[in-house]
Structure 1
Amino acid sequence: MTAPLPDDSSVLPPPGCPAHGLDPGLLGPGGVRRLYGPEAESDPWALYEKLRAEHGEVAPVLLHGDVPAWLVLGHSANLTAMRTPSRFSRDSRRWTAFQDGRVGADSPLLPVVAWQPMCVFTDGEEHRRLRGAVNDGLNRFDRRGIRRHVTRFVDQMVQEYGPTGRAELVTQFAEHLPMLVMTQLLGMPDEYGPRLVEAARDLMKGTETAIASNDYVVATLRRTIERKRAAPGDDLVSSLMQHPAGLTDDEVLAHLRLVLLAANETTVNLIADTLKMVLTDPRFRAHLSGGHMTLPDALDQVLWDSPPLIIVAGRWATGDTELGGQQIKAGDLLLLGLAAGNYDPTVRPDPTAPLFGNRSHLSFGSGPHECPGQDIGRAIAETSIDHLLTRLPDLRLAVEEGELTWTSAWLSRHLVRLPVEFTPRTLDDEPAGEDEPTASVPPVADPAPPAPPAAAVPRPRRSWWSLLTARFRR
């Protein structure tokens, strides 16, 4: 894998090879498939199956800049890479492509794979120290408390567009709820939520204002850390700062940013794709209306069919080794193919068969780096969808299913729009008693940090909910 590749990027595989005759844009030096670009990202699942047919459980691929890597396609091979850190480390400083100067300072790979002092880039005792602090902080939140936050925000959203009888559930629902709930768990005041929603979306899209948006997220977290140093609360920030593991301020900041952004991105996708399935798949529509299948079952099916992250980067080989029939060199990068592994025919011979209650999917990972916030993500997704369907029981798709589209990148796939219609209704200003939230922090007088440029985050000084929804009425 680390051997030099031919300089001629026009090299095509010979006739008879499964890749012969395919769009040359998919192929890089030596006929190795690219995992980036419009051709590769138009249908990731089809690309994974072509790679599986050509190479088996592990396939060579090229990342941005034609940097070589291995994509793990097999379910068993993914579990092996996840569960054996002695062979496949999380420390990206081992990457030979980076050491050899093949990854430039402006590479779009760096925000994902550049080493940082966080649990996701550590192994062994250091990983246990940092991960333990994160786990303890996240485990302090019970499902009932999360439900209270979720139902409050769902009610406010329905109150906003309920009288119109129409909504767009990606941009007006799924893309906002997780971040709004996470700000509560971090002990931030309500007014921080809308700006962080916009900044996180801008940051993940990699726009020209992404740096300003990242600066805003960091500034907001630093300000929150300072507030919690003076007045600790029952929240994740205070928990990390006070943990016996002795995290530095930089370590606290790095993990707060990780939790905030990772939880938002994955839960947004989980909510959007589950809503789409509930509204369009006749199996689920019939089961839900007939009471034969629960919403958690629907979530599990989506986690099998459309993982919130389709690829996770990565693991780095600690020495020369073998995986899935491929010879892996020390320092090679492995990409965990969560979506590909979920469709491995050895564990899922019939991809159309329902998988109610089966949670052996790869969507949350496995081993020491298994997603620490998966229970919170599931609670936010399940509660938000359940409460939305309770408030709007005749919710239905407003367009033909074939009109729905997705955008893809090498790590994830996003539903673009989910327009719906329903009987117009108005809710009471105050939700029912159990839905009332328990405030996680007292009101504060000091304002939020200055917002980044208007292109990244709007600045109108109105109520936090009007601030969030005004953009959708333009």
Structure 2
Amino acid sequence: MNDQSPDSPDSPDAPRGCPVAHGSAELTRLYGPEAATDPFGIYERLRKEHGSVAPVLLEGDVNAWLVLGYRDGRRVLDNPRQFARDARIWRDWREGRVAENHPLVPMVAWRPDCVSQDGEAHRRLRGAVNDGLQAAVARGIRRHATYFANKQIDAFADKGRADLVADYAGYLPMLILARVLGLSETEGRRLVESNAMVFQGGEEAIRHDGIIREILGDLTERKRAEPGSDFTTGLLEHHAGLDHDEVVSHLRLVLMAGHSTTSNLLARVLQLILTDASRLSGLTSGQLTITALVEEVMWNSPPLSVLPGRFAVSDVELGGHRIEEGDLLVLGLAPGNLDPEIRPDPDVSVQGNESHLAFSAGPHECPGQSIGMSIIQIAVDVLLHRLPGLRLAVPAEELTSTASTWMSVLDSLPVEFAV
């Protein structure tokens, strides 16, 4: 007689990928109060307990593997045949344990965009995105960045005080990307909150994802009727023949990924400049470049801490663990960059070293790197020229951050300057 319970790890009825299949009924959550305030503490504890790959729980106690090691991260990112991007093979999704209204869906579920596909389907869609982004650069990203940087600064330049997160970094990339896509400035400002809420997760993620899709769906129909010199028109007219859903999904992809990562990276670069007098003096004297500071931030506090997601195509060993077919893996970009195997001394300078994971890697490496870098270079340069005597208005140790599963965001950056 079989006396196994349905939840026993050896029971034939036990769902694969459940907590007991990972060997523990008490898995670490990558969400909640501790994750919001001390994500790096969680990464290091997991590394000590499990090595370079660790079983974790995502929002709603959904099972996943967090890849903490740099080399294992590269193995996953570089091998789509073993670790696919197509969420339709995600076992928890196929077997109904993740509902369509689950807050993870906007970040993890399959969509008709290049990020959700591999092989020829990925090449077709990625080619359309690359062509569109190259055309945007040719039309003048730096010009748009200069215009909106000055416009944002105009709103607080005569006050002598500002919050460079809420007043500057939080909006600037979105305004530039809205112009690139063909959206109005009003629509761009409206999208900032919705974009943040999707990355934050929780009950509001699905609703705000719907707002984003509605705005971008309306934009697609406008540009179909009245084409222009913008990214949306470029997708609609591309020889790859994207349908309506594919166009909207790629607008969403470029807008969300481009804004969140660039906004967070800009805030962290400004934080570094304003909390280290040598960095600020180096920039103003020309002895230090903004590019060097960006590289440092991308190593030590990348704008996206954890990258969703990859799915095991078949059973495979990774980091000493047995990953089962259909398992979800999320890539620890932040812990991977601090992996002691590649950075035994994290205080050693990384200047000139671009092998960080901040832009992902492999076939799905971020295609908008040059655009993000141009925005940050212009944003920092204009700010330092416009605001003489720029300095932090609070002690550096009072600056705080709040993390979601996917990113750690600087809460505020209060500054003072001469008027």
TM-score (norm 1): 0.81
Contact 2:107 2:199 (8 Å CA) reproduced: no
Contact 2:29 2:57 (8 Å CA) reproduced: yes
* 1:352-431 correspondence runs (5 A): 352-424=347-419
Residue 117 of structure 2 is aligned to residue 122 of structure 1: yes
Q: Please give the per-residue CA displacement for 1:154-186, whole angstroms capped at 9, x wherever unaligned.
A: 212222211111101101101100110001111
Contact 2:216 2:251 (8 Å CA) reproduced: yes
Q: Which residue of 2 aligns with 1:59?
A: 54
User: What SS is found at the alignment partner of 1:359?
Assistant: coil
Contact 1:178 1:380 (8 Å CA) reproduced: yes
Pairs aligned (count)? 405
Aligned-pair Cα RMSD in Å: 2.2
Q: Which residue of 1 aligns with 2:320?
A: 325
Q: Please give the per-residue CA displacement for 1:167-215, whole angstroms capped at 9, x wherever unaligned.
A: 0110110110011000111123334332233443445445766555444
The change in CA–CA distance for 1:93 and 1:293 in structure 2 (over 3 A counts) is: same
Contact 1:143 1:379 (8 Å CA) reproduced: no
Contact 2:19 2:63 (8 Å CA) reproduced: no
Residue 58 of structure 2 is aligned to residue 71 of structure 1: no
CA distance in 1, matches of 2:198, 2:59: 19
Q: Please give the per-residue CA displacement for 1:281-306, whole angstroms capped at 9, x wherever unaligned.
A: 24423432443221110011011111
Structure 1 residue 383, shift from structure 2 partner:
1.1
Q: Which residue of 2 aligns with 1:156?
A: 151
* 1:221-236 correspondence runs (5 A): 221-236=216-231
Q: Which residue of 2 aligns with 1:92?
A: 87
Q: 1:194 aligns with which of 189, 198, 204?
A: 189
User: What SS is found at the alignment partner of 1:48?
Assistant: helix
The change in CA–CA distance for 1:266 and 1:198 in structure 2 (over 3 A counts) is: same
Letter in 2 for 1:222: G
Q: Which residue of 1 aligns with 2:232?
A: 237
Structure 1 residue 103, shift from structure 2 partner:
2.1
CA distance in 2, matches of 1:410, 1:206: 8
Q: 1:301 aligns with which of 288, 293, 296?
A: 296
The change in CA–CA distance for 1:99 and 1:144 in structure 2 (over 3 A counts) is: closer
Letter in 2 for 1:81: V
Q: Which residue of 1 aligns with 2:333?
A: 338
User: What SS is found at the alignment partner of 1:31?
Assistant: coil
Calculate percent identity across the aligned residue pairs.
Answer: 49
Q: Please give the per-residue CA displacement for 1:264-293, whole angstroms capped at 9, x wherever unaligned.
A: 111110011110001002442343244322
* 1:103-182 correspondence runs (5 A): 103-142=98-137, 145-182=140-177
- Greater mean alpha carbon deviation, residues 217-226 or residues 168-177: 217-226
Contact 2:106 2:205 (8 Å CA) reproduced: no
Letter in 1 for 2:151: Q
- Greater mean alpha carbon deviation, residues 337-346 or residues 146-155: 146-155
Q: Which residue of 2 aligns with 1:44?
A: 39
The change in CA–CA distance for 1:272 and 1:250 in structure 2 (over 3 A counts) is: same
The change in CA–CA distance for 1:305 and 1:283 in structure 2 (over 3 A counts) is: farther
The change in CA–CA distance for 1:261 and 1:42 in structure 2 (over 3 A counts) is: same
Structure 1 residue 132, shift from structure 2 partner:
0.9
CA distance in 1, matches of 2:201, 2:314: 34
Letter in 1 for 2:223: K
Letter in 1 for 2:174: M
User: What SS is found at the alignment partner of 1:163?
Assistant: coil
Contact 1:180 1:197 (8 Å CA) reproduced: no
User: What SS is found at the alignment partner of 1:71?
Assistant: strand
- Greater mean alpha carbon deviation, residues 223-232 or residues 294-303: 223-232
Residue 178 of structure 2 is aligned to residue 218 of structure 1: no
Q: Which residue of 2 aligns with 1:310?
A: 305
Letter in 2 for 1:89: A
CA distance in 1, matches of 2:101, 2:206: 13
Contact 2:295 2:354 (8 Å CA) reproduced: yes
CA distance in 2, matches of 1:167, 1:93: 45
TM-score (norm 2): 0.91
CA distance in 2, matches of 1:310, 1:33: 16
Letter in 2 for 1:333: L
Q: Unaligned 5+ residue runs, structure 1? A: 8-27, 425-474
Letter in 2 for 1:381: I
Letter in 2 for 1:66: D
CA distance in 1, matches of 2:330, 2:132: 28
Contact 2:102 2:206 (8 Å CA) reproduced: no
User: What SS is found at the alignment partner of 2:220?
Assistant: helix
Structure 1 residue 112, shift from structure 2 partner:
1.2
CA distance in 2, matches of 1:373, 1:130: 15
CA distance in 2, matches of 1:3, 1:217: 32
CA distance in 2, matches of 1:130, 1:277: 37
- Greater mean alpha carbon deviation, residues 101-110 or residues 398-407: 101-110
CA distance in 2, matches of 1:99, 1:208: 22
